[in-house]
Structures are given as structure tokens and as C-alpha cells.
A and B are shown apart, each in its own frame.
Chain A
Amino acid sequence: MRFNRTILLTLALVLIQTSIVPWLVPYQWSDRLLPNLAFIMTVYVALFGGRHAAFLFGLGFGLLEDLLFYGHLMGSYGFGMALLGYLIGLVSERRPRTLAYTLLAIGVGSYLLDTIVYLVYRLFQLTDVTYGFAVYWQILPTLLLQLIIALVLYLPVRRRLLKSASVSGEENAA
């Protein structure tokens, strides 16, 4: 995995996520579709770069997002993305990196991340919506959008961000 390029690309994606995506989402959907592009990249790092790299990557970009969104408290994304980056890296250590598996990891991961963030805000009594409402209102629509974005990013990531030796797809990341 080419980490310098990945970090630069993810920084650009964070800027796009905060400044351009809000304009593209229709007004009625603006608090339902909240894609987290840095998290998608964290899952790619976990799959193609190993769990330790994904842990640091998720921690760094999670804390960056926390700082940029800082309203009530910070740390929820740092915690969630670091933990999920590590876990996804751990679980998928000896599995083939197919497209279907990548999408499954991103789907499950983004569901769990939004759940962790919800639980943190619930724990600190900063929100009083029920979990069922949060799932229906925000988590599922966001998950579907993230899957589409992950599909769009899949080819560029495999072509540009992986070293040519590991593109064959079947071997383990070191």
C-alpha cells in the first residue's frame, strides 16, 4: 500500500466531505445522508494495508473529523474508527480481497461506526432519539450511500494506491 498517496487522497476526501457533499445532498435528506469518506478509506487500509496501519489511520483521521465537527464533545469518531479499523483488519487477515468482501466490510463497518457514535452521544445524554429511529433515519440511508461511494472508489484504490506486487488480490497483506 502506498501510504503517502493514501493520506493525501484521504485529506482531499475529508475536504470534499465537509465542503462539497453538503451541497450535493438534497435539502430534505441533509440530516439523513451523512457519508464518512475517511472511514471508507480506513476500511480500504484495513483490507490492503494491515490492521496496525488501519488502527493508526483510523485514529488520526477520526480525531481530525472530531476536531472539525467539534460541537458537544470530541473523540467518538477517533475511538470508533480506530477500533473498527483494527477489528476489520484482524477479521479479514486471511481472506481473499474480493469486491463483495470489501463491500460487506464497508457495510458492516459503517453500521457499527454509526452505532458507536450514537451510543457515545446517548451515553453522555446529548441525544434522546431512540436507537430504532436513529437506524431508520440516519444509519441505513448513510450505509447505502457509503456502499455506492465505496464502489466508485474501489477501482482507483486498487489501481493507484496498491503497490503493483499486491494487485493480484489473493495474498495476505504483510
Chain B
Amino acid sequence: MRNKRLFILMIGLILFIAMLGFTSGRTGLSWPERFVNDAFGTVQGALYRPVGAVTEFFRDLGRLSDVYKENEQLRLTVAQYTQDKIRYNQLESENARLKDELGFTERQKQLYNYKYLIAQVVASSSNPYDKTIKINRGAHDGVKPKMAVQTVDGLVGIVSKVSEFTSTVMPITELDPTSSDRISISATVLGKEDQTFGIVDYDKERNMLQMSKIDENAPIKEGDLVITSGLVNVLPKGILIGTVVSTQVGDFGLTHTATIKPAAKFDHLTEVFVVVAPDVDAP
């Protein structure tokens, strides 16, 4: 009797280790998984959004006094934005004209023409090592694995699993530098795109992002805005990641690292955008 119990335990252990190994690094989902995810996603959405609206309302009531200051700041930003918009329109038309004259192909012209799919968050995970969030857009709406997800503030994460009507997003805080299935975020600094380059990952114990492998002559300093570079093909170009807090010499003294405060929040999210890069390689 004892032996039988031990035998079953061993078989169970082996089965589970096989399952853990098999499911790590897999991108597709089988149809029962997609069905359960979608069925739960519908109900989760019906709960998450109203509760979120109510709690946000009470939180906003609490910080009513800050609204005046925030309004002032936003007005300044809008003024700045209007000026930039005029300049941007000129540059864009000039850029299009130059591309025409230089004979860019249609594929090259469409390369950075991103579309943004708006999605509502419906649930968030309670596994401390897989803190994924779930959004209510799926394969039906054109979401594919490894697409970037952002809020208005900045980069949030990467789509990891896609069902028919929902998908799971892995926040960039889970992209651990030592993990076996990591995705590197190649990053650069706004305004110095051709001089700075680094790889961003997350330091869980300090709650900060870290940009490593920066050239020691790169002009990076405190307060700089770090954006995705789009050089490695996973993430699109120009999504805000965060602000540089400090820079220091890296592990071997040859490169520098910078500590970055993330621009986006990763919890209590309501609305996110899935960045759809044009499918240039499709026939």
C-alpha cells in the first residue's frame, strides 16, 4: 500500500515536470485552452471594468487638489505640442517627398507605419513569477504573439499567448535577464538615437529597469528619455520605456549601465494599446 502511494507520487512528479518543460517557451495554445481563456475572459471583463471604474473614481476624489496643478502642466504641454505638430507636418511631407525621389520601395515606406489597437484589460494574474495581464483582444482582431503593448505613458509588455477573443500580456518586468526564454528590448535615447544603444531588462529586487551594454562614450545622462530602438525585430521603434535615474560603470568596466524608472505603470491598468507593425514580409 505504501509502495503504491509512493509509485503514484513519482509518476505524478515526472508527469508534471514533463508538462512544465513542455509548456515553457511554447507560443501557441490548443483549442481547450483557448476556449477556457475566452470563456473566463468574458466574465472577468464584466467584473474588472466596473470595479475598476468605481475604485478609480474614489481615487480621483482623493486627489482632487492635484487637478489644478495638473491642468496647468497639461496646458503648457498642449502649447508645446501644437508647435511641434506644425514642424512635424512639414518634416513628414518633406520626408515623403525625399523618399519618393530616392526611389524607396513600397515595403520600405510602410515599415514604420504602425497601427494601434485599443484593448481593455480584463484580469491580472496572482502568480508572483508570472504577473501577466489579460486583454480583451485576440487572434480575431489581428493580435499575434510578441506584439508590443503600451499605455499612453509608455511600454507595458509583450503579447505572450493569444486566444480567439482574449490574449495574455507579459509585462516587461517579467523579462528577467537570467531567464531562459528572455526577449531582449533594444533601447536608445530620445534625441541621440545614432549614438546610444543598450539592452533593457528588469531588476526585481530594486523595482527598476536597467539598461546595460551602453558604449562608454555614449552621451547618456540623468533625465534622458529611453525609447525602443526597433533594431532587433521584436519591438517596434520609438515606444517610451522610461527616464534615466543614474548611470554607472558596468560589470567589466568596458561598458556603462543606466538605471531607468519605468514610464508606464504595470498594475491597475484599464486601457492599453497593442502596436501592430505592418506585415511587410507578407506577399
The interface of chain A, by Cβ under 8 A from chain B, is: 15-24, 27, 30-31, 34-36, 64-65, 67-79, 82-83, 114, 117-118, 120-121, 124-129, 133-134, 138
Contact = CB atoms under 8 A, between A and B. Distances in A.
A30 B268 contact: yes
A128 B203 CA distance: 9
Which 6 residue pairs are nearest across A and B when measured between Cβ atoms? A73-B24, A69-B125, A71-B130, A19-B47, A19-B48, A30-B267
B129 interface: yes
B127 A124 contact: no
A72 B24 CA distance: 5
Interface of B: 12-13, 16, 19-21, 23-25, 29, 33, 36-37, 40, 43-45, 47-48, 51-52, 55, 122-132, 134, 160-161, 168, 170, 174, 176-181, 204-205, 265, 267-268
A70 B123 CA distance: 12
A173 to B, nearest CB: 19
Contacts of B127: 34, 65, 69, 71, 76-77, 117
Given A30-B267, A71-B174, A75-B16, A129 B204 contact: yes
Q: Chain B: interface secondary structure?
A: mixed
Nearest to A68: B40
Contacts of A126: 24, 129, 176, 179-181
B24 A124 contact: yes
B24 A79 contact: no
Contact of B36 (A64, A75, A79, A117): A64
Contacts of B45: 19
A119 B178 CA distance: 15
A24 B124 CA distance: 12
Nearest to A78: B16
B55 A23 contact: yes
Contacts of B43: 15
Contact of B129 (A64, A79, A118): A118
A68 to B, nearest CB: 6
